[in-house]
């Protein structure tokens, strides 16, 4: 055993603090190390009550434990905050044993203090990391009790932190998993190691309100002076589960659309080879799936259309265009040529690198035929209208002109689009036309009328037919009008009426001889309507426009012997 001086030196210069308190908690001994920590001299500290150098929270802790310590005789790992002379705080860990007299009465404490400032700083950093973590962080001891929990744990599970500390971690699991988890936890502490998230387990958490949610949990061992702790990172994967389910449903929808859709669909490599084709495309071109997989887009394409497709595909994969759509011709297995509408877009990986192309192919052969038939029909109609003596035009529901096949009269000299008859024709006739067409709009029944349009002193007459213009659903959206210029006809009719009048007037002046006329066989007098007999010359003069000269016919001359020699 060393000398008293050596023991005193060891006591005073030990790397930990030593002090002794009497039964009233007053300092009776203290070593140099503790004095240096606190900044006091021995004379300043001896005689002070321990509560004088403790933070208020620590005073209560000491008061709660000192009486029990006097009775039980020992105290272990009591964490207190001491106040230095300069007012700063010193966190310490205190353990103590009681010194008693022969009668067993308490004399003083023999207390040892450890400066845990550095540990506190490390703890603070650790707690800061826990609080900053985006996941719920739970630290538990081998008994499964919660030693630490961060704010995210509170938010995720709905508990206050005080409700979690020192409780078994199984409180955060559904009832059906708790016993199994207890066994897993026990096995984990036998051989602690890092276990990453999502290690093949389907896990669920349970909130305070009883609701459950899917979680991923990773475990990491944390070695401390008191042994191992387990740090659990708990991640709520509800949103990810929803996204995974939505992705699964989306992929299933895509699979069904791809396999069962009416359009031809294919996944095509950058070199044009088919990677996957659907049954609609197989039916369209008359090849089986294996036969198509063994060929390429170019193999189906009509020779005259291949180069255009190749150039556009290059632009697509070089990023010059996002997609392209073109009509082209395919050659079926039977040799028949069909028209298709092809849309091609890129499929990229997560890094944005183009992998292959999605190609949608629609058979538009019948549409092309119908379009061509419509084009021919429209051309015939255009030519017919161009050469027909009729003007056709459309007006919208507000009776504004929106189309006309050929401009006439006022429409030829002014901008008629967007204007009405009231603005173009004007006057009473413009108002009359507006009323007629408005009635057609309201009733949906066509009508026919005659109109006269005067422009720059010239009046033209039109035979006007007005019919309702309907959309694809049968709703009246305007009117279609056909106007035939009947000016020449009107003029001809007028001229005919004049001629007829003149003829009637001439006929009125002509007196016609008609009926049975009584005439004397001897003197040749004629009896008139009143029964009077008049000479033939007189009767004819009164009943005709003829004038008379007197002479003798050749027979009379002969009878009188006045005939001349010829």
* Buried residues in 91-110 as b, exposed as e (16+ CB within 10 A): bbbbebebeeeeeeeeebbe
Q: Shortest CA distance to 436 belongs to which of 404, 393, 468? A: 468
Residue 561: helix, strand or coil by DSSP?
coil
Q: How many CB atoms lie within 10 A of CB 287?
A: 20
Q: Are 519 and 525 in contact (CB under 8 A)?
A: yes
Q: Are 451 and 445 in contact (CB under 8 A)?
A: no
Q: Are 231 and 139 in contact (CB under 8 A)?
A: yes
Q: Are 156 and 211 in contact (CB under 8 A)?
A: no
The three-state DSSP-derived secondary structure of 95-145 is: EEEEEECCCCCEEEEEEEEEECHHHHHHHHHHHHHHHHCCCEEEEECCCCE
Burial class (CB in 10 A: 0-12, 13-18, 19+), 264: buried
Alpha-carbon distance of 30 to 23, in angstroms, equals 16
Per the listing, tokens 């190390």 go with 33
Q: Domain 388-489, what architecture?
A: 2-Layer Sandwich (3.30)
In the CATH hierarchy, which fold is given to the domain comprising 262-368? Beta-Lactamase (3.30.450)
Q: Are 554 and 565 in contact (CB under 8 A)?
A: no
Per the listing, tokens 């009359």 go with 432
Q: What pLDDT, on a 0 to 100 scale, did the predictor assign at position 337?
A: 95
Q: What pLDDT, on a 0 to 100 scale, did the predictor assign at position 366?
A: 92
Q: Pull the structure tokens for residue 17.
A: 């603090």
Q: Are 433 and 420 in contact (CB under 8 A)?
A: no
Alpha-carbon distance of 255 to 249, in angstroms, equals 10
Helices (H), 279-399: 279-285, 289-293, 297-300, 306-317, 365-387
Q: Shortest CA distance to 436 belongs to which of 419, 415, 450? A: 450
Q: Are 200 and 209 in contact (CB under 8 A)?
A: no
Alpha-carbon distance of 282 to 561, in angstroms, equals 123
566 residues of the chain, pLDDT tens digit each: 457 888 888 899 999 999 999 999 999 999 999 999 999 999 999 999 999 999 999 999 999 999 999 999 999 999 999 999 999 999 999 999 999 999 999 999 999 999 999 888 887 888 888 888 889 999 999 999 999 999 999 999 999 999 999 999 999 999 998 888 888 888 888 888 887 755 567 889 999 999 999 999 888 898 887 788 999 999 999 998 899 888 888 888 878 878 888 899 999 998 889 999 999 999 999 999 999 999 998 999 999 999 988 899 888 888 889 899 999 999 999 999 999 999 999 888 878 888 889 999 999 999 999 888 888 877 776 666 666 678 888 999 999 998 887 655 444 445 678 889 898 888 899 999 999 999 999 999 999 999 888 777 788 888 999 999 999 889 999 999 988 888 888 888 888 888 877 767 755 554 555 566 677 766 778 887 777 888 777 777 776 666 666 666 777 666 655 555 44
Q: Are 355 and 348 in contact (CB under 8 A)?
A: yes
Q: What pLDDT, on a 0 to 100 scale, did the predictor assign at position 249?
A: 86
Superfamily of domain 4-115: PAS domain (3.30.450.20)
Which residue spans of the chain are classified as CATH 3.30.450.20?
4-115, 120-236, 262-368, 388-489
Q: Are 198 and 205 in contact (CB under 8 A)?
A: no
Per the listing, tokens 């056709």 go with 392
Q: How many CA atoms lie within 13 A of 3 on its CB side?
A: 3
Q: What pLDDT, on a 0 to 100 scale, did the predictor assign at position 413?
A: 47
Q: How many CB atoms lie within 10 A of CB 75?
A: 19
Question: Measured at the alpha carbon of residue 378, what is the angle toward residues 373 and 384, in degrees to the nearest 5?
Answer: 130
* CATH number belonging to domain 120-236: 3.30.450.20
> Which pairing describes strands 227-236 and 526-527: parallel, antiparallel, or unpaired?
unpaired
> What's the predicted TM-score (pTM) here?
0.46
């Amino acid at each position: 055993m060393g000398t008293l001086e050596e023991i005193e030196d060891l006591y005073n210069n030990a790397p930990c603090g030593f002090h002794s308190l009497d039964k009233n908690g007053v300092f009776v001994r203290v070593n140099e190390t503790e004095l240096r920590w606190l900044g006091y001299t021995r004379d300043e500290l001896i005689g002070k009550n321990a509560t004088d150098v403790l933070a208020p929270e620590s005073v209560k802790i000491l008061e709660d434990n000192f009486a029990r310590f006097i009775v039980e005789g020992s105290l272990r790992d009591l964490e207190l905050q001491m106040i230095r002379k300069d007012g700063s705080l010193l966190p310490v860990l205190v353990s103590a044993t009681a010194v008693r007299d022969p009668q067993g009465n308490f004399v003083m404490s023999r207390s040892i203090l450890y400066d845990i400032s550095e540990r506190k700083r490390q703890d603070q950093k650790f707690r800061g990391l826990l609080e900053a973590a985006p996941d719920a962080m739970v630290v538990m001891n081998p008994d499964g009790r919660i030693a630490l929990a961060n704010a995210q744990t509170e938010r995720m599970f709905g508990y206050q932190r005080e409700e979690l500390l020192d409780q078994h971690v199984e409180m955060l699991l559904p009832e059906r998993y708790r016993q199994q988890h207890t066994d897993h936890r026990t096995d984990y502490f036998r051989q602690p190691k890092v276990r990453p998230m999502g290690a093949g387990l389907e896990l669920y958490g349970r909130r305070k309100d009883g609701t459950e949610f899917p979680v991923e949990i990773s475990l990491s061992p944390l070695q401390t002076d008191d042994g191992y702790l387990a740090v659990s990172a708990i991640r709520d994967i509800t949103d990810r589960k929803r996204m995974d389910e939505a992705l699964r449903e989306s992929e299933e929808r895509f699979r069904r659309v791809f396999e069962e859709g009416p359009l031809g669909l294919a996944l095509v490599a950058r070199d044009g080879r088919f990677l996957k084709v659907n049954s609609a495309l197989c039916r369209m071109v008359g090849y089986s799936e294996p036969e198509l997989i063994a060929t390429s887009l170019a193999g189906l394409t009509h020779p005259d259309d291949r180069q255009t497709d190749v150039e556009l595909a290059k632009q697509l994969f070089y990023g010059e265009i996002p997609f392209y759509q073109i009509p082209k011709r395919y050659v079926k297995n039977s040799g028949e040529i069909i028209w298709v509408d092809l849309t091609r877009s890129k499929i990229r990986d997560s890094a944005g690198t183009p992998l292959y192309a999605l190609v949608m192919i629609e058979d538009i052969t019948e549409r092309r035929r119908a379009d061509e038939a419509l084009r021919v029909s429209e051309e015939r109609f255009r030519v017919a209208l161009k050469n027909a003596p009729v003007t056709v035009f459309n007006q919208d529901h507000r009776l504004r002109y929106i189309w006309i096949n050929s401009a006439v009269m006022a429409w030829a000299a002014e901008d008629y689009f967007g204007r009405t008859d009231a603005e173009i024709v004007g006057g009473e006739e413009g108002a009359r036309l507006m009323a007629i067409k408005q009635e057609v709009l309201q009733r949906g029944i066509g009508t026919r009328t005659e109109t006269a349009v005067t422009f720059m002193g010239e009046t033209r007459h039109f035979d006007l037919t007005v019919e309702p213009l309907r959309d694809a659903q049968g709703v009246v959206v305007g009117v279609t009008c056909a106007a035939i210029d009947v000016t020449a006809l009107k003029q001809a009719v007028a001229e005919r009426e004049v001629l007829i009048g003149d003829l009637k007037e001439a006929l009125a002046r002509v007196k016609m001889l008609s009926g049975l006329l009584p005439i004397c066989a001897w003197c040749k007098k004629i009896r008139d309507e009143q029964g009077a007999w008049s000479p033939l010359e007189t009767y004819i003069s009164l009943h005709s426009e003829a004038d008379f000269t007197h002479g003798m016919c050749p027979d009379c001359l002969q009878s009188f012997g006045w005939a001349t020699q010829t």
